[in-house]
């Protein structure tokens, strides 16, 4: 059975997936990492016809000892019921569109799957949970939507008031069963700190708190499977020992627009479980702690303030999942495998424009950070291998940036239009633990 231990536990005390999932953060404040990584035979997914099919194969490799196969299949079919197209921009560049779930960001993958995994275990235990989640934009709506209506689970969202886009805010505050939204008068760091403090606060120990941020292992495992799905979509040129030596010579790189590094952790899981990945490109905005770490000697655990940018879902000064990656991979391996870069606002908007002019493709600011990252990587390293760049949010969520960079109105998106007719439910709170405690 694959078990998990905390990054801060020297004794590596093992817990089940069920416990790691329901706890979220380990009691010592560390993050759960797997004690072993299952080997998943890549030939198995090269023949996959749907995302859910890959999802079942991958998650079953991780979870089969803890969740009966029939239950897991139902969970995956219900959670991953949306398309995930791989769009070709040129002969050596694709974008993997991860934004066709209900809240139009890649966070639907993790949140929807995790909600159903949690509901599975809670029902079995006849227990309930209150999910506390800090969001810089897309996480909150994906979690709210993914968990809404699950019988044994309630959700409280904290987001930095005025620091998410209008559309994102609307997605966060629409009324959903079992979900409350708090607009925190501070920034994302305040929200994240309040959540962390709440978990350690004896005054709240009577509440069955749990997290749904990308610190939860239950969100990260589902985020590994679309890397494998993408490779299955590349066939017949996919990298495979049996599909022609010609193609297998050239490696495949993934570019991951990154903030809290959950998505990259998912990619690392996919790679450690058997998918060959040449390099990962971690493309960050002005919050550049991780690229700095990869390229230079910087203090790995110093705190960095968050800087607000046009790619706001990636506005994370000190990424939580860094601690996880740091423990998952030896430093040398990490630094040789992952290449990092930082992209400023002006360059992001310029890349959105050039992407539209060159490929006729409208990208959101986050996707544009990724595409700029691909260009910078190729220039810096001379490695011109094929790249799949992850497209993590639907461009229609960022109409202001699109108008500014492309000078066009954003094409209408039905899933967003309907939000403006819905009822909302939100209260403003001060950025401290006692305010949070009062309102819980």
Ligand X SMILES: *Cc1c(COP(=O)(O)O)cnc(C)c1O
Q: Which is nearer to ligand X, 132 or 310 (CB)?
A: 310
Candidates 47-55, 174-182, 238-246, 254-262: pick the segment binding ligand X (CB under 6 A).
254-262
Residue 306 lies near ligand X (rule: CB under 6 A): no
CB of 368 to ligand X, least distance (A): 11
Candidates 253-261, 272-280, 299-307, 337-345: pick the segment binding ligand X (CB under 6 A).
253-261
Residue 181 lies near ligand X (rule: CB under 6 A): no
CB of 259 to ligand X, least distance (A): 4
Residue 222 lies near ligand X (rule: CB under 6 A): no
Residue 80 lies near ligand X (rule: CB under 6 A): no
- Tell me if the bond preceding 236 is cis, omega within 30° of 0: yes
CB of 27 to ligand X, least distance (A): 24
Residues 431, 194: contact at Cβ < 8 Å? yes
Q: Please work out the total of residues on this chain that contact ligand X, with binding judged by CB under 6 A.
A: 17
CB of 307 to ligand X, least distance (A): 15
Residue 366 lies near ligand X (rule: CB under 6 A): yes
Candidates 18-26, 165-173, 251-259, 413-421: pick the segment binding ligand X (CB under 6 A).
251-259
Q: Which is nearer to ligand X, 34 or 266 (CB)?
A: 266
Nearest to 277 by CA among 392, 391, 390, 386: 386
Candidates 51-59, 116-124, 255-263, 339-347: pick the segment binding ligand X (CB under 6 A).
255-263
Q: Which is nearer to ligand X, 322 or 377 (CB)?
A: 322
Residue 258 lies near ligand X (rule: CB under 6 A): yes
Residue 313 lies near ligand X (rule: CB under 6 A): yes
Residue 261 lies near ligand X (rule: CB under 6 A): yes
Residues between 97 and 116 with contacts to ligand X, criterion CB under 6 A: 105, 107
Nearest to 43 by CA among 238, 186, 190, 205: 238
Q: Which is nearer to ligand X, 53 or 97 (CB)?
A: 97
Per-position x/- string for 134-163, each x denoting binding to ligand X as judged by CB under 6 A, each - no binding = ---xx-------------------------
Residue 314 lies near ligand X (rule: CB under 6 A): yes
Residue 262 lies near ligand X (rule: CB under 6 A): yes
Q: Which is nearer to ligand X, 42 or 105 (CB)?
A: 105
Gyration radius of the chain's alpha carbons: 20
Sequence-ordered list of residues with C-beta below 8 angstroms from that of 216, at least 6 positions apart, any chain = 21, 24, 114, 210
Q: Which is nearer to ligand X, 42 or 321 (CB)?
A: 321
Residues between 371 and 400 with contacts to ligand X, criterion CB under 6 A: 392-393
Residues between 27 and 66 with contacts to ligand X, criterion CB under 6 A: none
Per-position x/- string for 322-361, each x denoting binding to ligand X as judged by CB under 6 A, each - no binding = ----------------------------------------
Residue 213 lies near ligand X (rule: CB under 6 A): no
- d(CA 82, CA 306) in angstroms, rounded, equals 33
Q: Using CB under 6 A, list all residues that contact ligand X.
A: 105, 107, 137-138, 214, 257-263, 313-314, 366, 392-393
């Amino acid at each position: 059975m694959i078990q998990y231990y905390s990054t801060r536990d020297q004794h590596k005390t093992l817990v089940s997936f069920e416990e790691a999932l329901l706890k979220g953060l380990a009691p010592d404040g560390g993050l759960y990492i797997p004690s072993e990584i299952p080997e998943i035979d890549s030939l198995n997914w090269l023949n996959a016809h749907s995302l859910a099919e890959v999802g079942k194969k991958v998650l079953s490799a991780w979870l089969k000892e803890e969740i009966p196969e029939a239950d897991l299949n139902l969970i995956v079919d219900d959670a991953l019921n949306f398309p995930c197209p791989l769009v070709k921009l040129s002969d050596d560049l694709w974008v993997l569109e991860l934004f066709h779930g209900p809240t139009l960001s890649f966070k639907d993958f993790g949140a929807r799957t995790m909600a159903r995994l949690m509901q599975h275990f809670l029902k079995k235990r006849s227990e309930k949970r209150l999910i506390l989640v800090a969001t810089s934009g897309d996480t909150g709506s994906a979690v709210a939507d993914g968990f809404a209506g699950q019988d044994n689970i309630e959700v409280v969202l904290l987001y930095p008031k005025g620091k998410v886009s209008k559309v994102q805010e609307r997605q966060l505050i629409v009324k959903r069963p079992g979900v409350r939204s708090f607009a925190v008068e501070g920034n994302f760091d305040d929200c994240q700190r309040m959540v962390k403090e709440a978990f350690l606060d004896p005054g709240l120990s009577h509440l069955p708190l749990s997290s749904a941020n990308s610190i939860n292992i239950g969100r990260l495992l589902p985020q590994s499977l679309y890397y494998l799905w993408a490779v299955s979509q590349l066939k017949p040129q996919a990298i495979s020992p049996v599909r022609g030596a010609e193609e297998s010579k050239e490696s495949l790189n993934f570019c991951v627009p990154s903030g809290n590094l959950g998505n990259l952790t998912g990619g690392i899981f996919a790679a450690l479980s058997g998918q060959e990945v040449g390099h990962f490109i971690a493309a960050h905005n002005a919050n550049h702690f991780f690229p700095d770490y990869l390229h230079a000697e910087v203090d790995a655990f110093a705190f960095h303030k968050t800087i607000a940018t046009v790619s706001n879902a990636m506005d994370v000064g000190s990424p939580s999942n860094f601690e996880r990656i740091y423990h998952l991979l030896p430093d040398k391996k990490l630094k040789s495998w992952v290449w990092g870069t930082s992209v400023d606002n002006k360059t992001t908007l310029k890349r959105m424009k050039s992407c539209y002019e060159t490929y006729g493709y409208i990208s959101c600011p986050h996707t544009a950070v990724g595409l700029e990252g691909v260009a910078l990587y190729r220039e810096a390293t001379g490695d011109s291998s094929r790249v799949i760049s992850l497209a993590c949010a639907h461009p229609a969520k960022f109409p202001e940036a699109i108008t500014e960079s492309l000078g066009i109105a954003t094409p209408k998106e039905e899933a967003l239009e309907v939000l403006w007719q819905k009822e909302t439910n939100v209260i403003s709170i001060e950025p401290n633990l006692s305010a949070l405690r009062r309102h819980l």
